[in-house]
Amino acid sequence: MNVHDPGPPGGPGLTVRDLAVNYGPVTALRGVSLDVPRGAVVTVLGGNGAGKSTLLRAISGTLRFHRGGITAGTVTFGGERLSGAGTSAVVAHGVVQVPEGRKVFARMTVEENLRAGALGAPGRGAAAEARERVLTLFPVLAERARQRAGLLSGGEQQMLAIGRALMARPRMLLLDEPTLGLAPMMATRIAETVREINAQGTTVLLVEQNAALALSLASHAYVLEVGEVVLSGPAAELAESDEVRRRYLGIGDDRDEALTAGAPAARPTLTRWSA
Let me know if residue 48 belongs to a domain. yes
Let me know if residue 168 belongs to a domain. no
Let me know if residue 79 belongs to a domain. yes
Let me know if residue 150 belongs to a domain. no
Q: CA 29 → CA 6, 45, 247, distances in Å?
A: 29, 14, 21
Let me know if residue 85 belongs to a domain. yes
Let me know if residue 157 belongs to a domain. no
Q: How confident is the model at residue 158 (pLDDT cuts 50, 70, 90)?
A: very high
The string of pLDDT tens digits covering residues 38-66 is 999 999 999 889 999 999 999 999 999 99
Q: Please, are residues 171 and 200 in contact by the beta-carbon 8 Å criterion? A: no
Let me know if residue 233 belongs to a domain. yes
Neighbour tally for 37: CB within 10 Å: 17
CATH of the domain at 260: 3.40.50.300
**Beta strands 172-176 and 41-45: pairing type?**
unpaired
pTM score, whole prediction: 0.85
**Mean confidence (pLDDT) of the chain:** 86
Lowest-confidence segment of 11-20, 58-67, 117-126, 186-195 by average pLDDT: 117-126
Let me know if residue 68 belongs to a domain. yes
pLDDT of 273 reads 39
- End-to-end Cα spacing for the chain: 46
Task: Give the count of domains, the chain.
Answer: 1
Residue 85 has pLDDT above 80, yes or no: yes
Q: How far apart, in whole angstroms, are the C-alpha atoms of residue 66 and residue 57?
A: 9
**Beta strands 220-225 and 41-45: pairing type?**
parallel
Domain ranges, residue 258? 11-94+210-275
